[in-house]
Chain A
Amino acid sequence: SQTIHQWPATLVQPVGSPLSLECTVEGTSNPNLYWYRQAAGRGLQLLFYSVGIGQISSEVPQNLSASRPQDRQFILSSKKLLLSDSGFYLCAWRTDIEKGRGGWDTGELFFGEGSRLTVL
């Protein structure tokens, strides 16, 4: 079965410090991977998604970046954190459903347990 892991679970960082959050998926190959952020009391904001190694699409221009050095590894980084970067960061992977006759449907997202970042 497929699993997704994120770490660290919680971190407190000073403004201006760097950030690295890591996400790995097991039990599947070539997954579509996503980074979302959820600010306190808010909805999920898509930050980045990746359809393959080295392929990153950015949704929101900001001081964050993402990398996918391996098929099942997705990393979220920042060189200098801002106060506004505080939030709950969620990594997710997506299934696809084969419909038959070569057709596909978008499957659901499965989330990691999240990394809660507080920038002080």
Chain B
Amino acid sequence: RKEVEQDPGPFNVPEGATVAFNCTYSNSASQSFFWYRQDCRKEPKLLMSVYSSGNEDGRFTAQLNRASQYISLLIRDSKLSDSATYLCVVSSWGFNKFYFGSGTKLNVKP
């Protein structure tokens, strides 16, 4: 079983739509959670960390459900510039390892 699993998509949505991605992780001891964004042929960049209480950054909202071991990312009012691959990342303190999902591709259409 993979450490982190994501729906690969692609998600094709019109501008202005709301879209949600989910990600599940297998290690219940995981402590740190992140969403990264990767543009085509570029390095991944941190979009946001995911906190236990959930957190919001503008149009982006991240949620963590420890009981069910999943993380979600909600994007409201999608922009063309949101088109990218979104990577779910999980880590545990002391293990020095970050586990990446394979990514969910988002295409926002005009």
Chain A residues proximal to chain B, CB less than 8 Å: 32, 34, 36, 42-44, 46, 49, 51, 57, 59, 88, 90, 94, 104-114, 116
Q: Which of B31, B87, B91 has the most chain A CB atoms closer than 10 A to its own CB?
A: B91
Those of B52-91 within 8 Å (CB) of chain A: 87, 89, 91
Instruction: Find chain B residues with CB under 8 A from A36 CB.
Output: 100
Given contacts A105-B32, A105-B93, A106-B31, contact A46 B98 (CB under 8 A): yes
Please determine whether B44 and A111 come into contact, CB atoms closer than 8 angstroms. yes
Bound: A113/B42 CA distance, A: 7
Q: Which of B43, B46, B97, B102 has the most chain A CB atoms closer than 10 A to its own CB?
A: B43
Q: A42's contact among B34, B46, B102, by CB below 8 Å, is which?
A: B102
Quick one: CB contact mask for B90-110 with A, threshold 8 Å, 1 for yes? Answer: 011100111011110000000
Q: Which of A57, A106, A107, A112 has the most chain B CB atoms closer than 10 A to its own CB?
A: A106
Q: A106's contact among B41, B42, B92, B101, by CB below 8 Å, is which?
A: B92
Please determine whether B101 and A43 come into contact, CB atoms closer than 8 angstroms. yes
Q: A108's contact among B34, B41, B101, B102, by CB below 8 Å, is which?
A: B34
Is B49 an interface residue, CB under 8 A from the partner?
yes
Instruction: Find chain A residues with CB under 8 A from B44 CB.
Output: 44, 90, 109, 111
Main secondary structure of the interface of B (DSSP, over half): loop
Please determine whether B43 and A112 come into contact, CB atoms closer than 8 angstroms. yes
Bound: A34/B97 CA distance, A: 9
Bound: A57/B32 CA distance, A: 21
B71 CB → nearest A CB, Å: 14
A52 CB → nearest B CB, Å: 11
Given contacts A43-B101, A46-B98, A51-B96, contact A108 B43 (CB under 8 A): no
Kindly report which residue of chain A lies nearest to residue B49, judged by CB atoms. A108
Q: What 4 additional pairs, Cβ within 8 angstroms, besides A59-B97, A107-B32? A: A43-B100, A44-B44, A94-B98, A108-B46
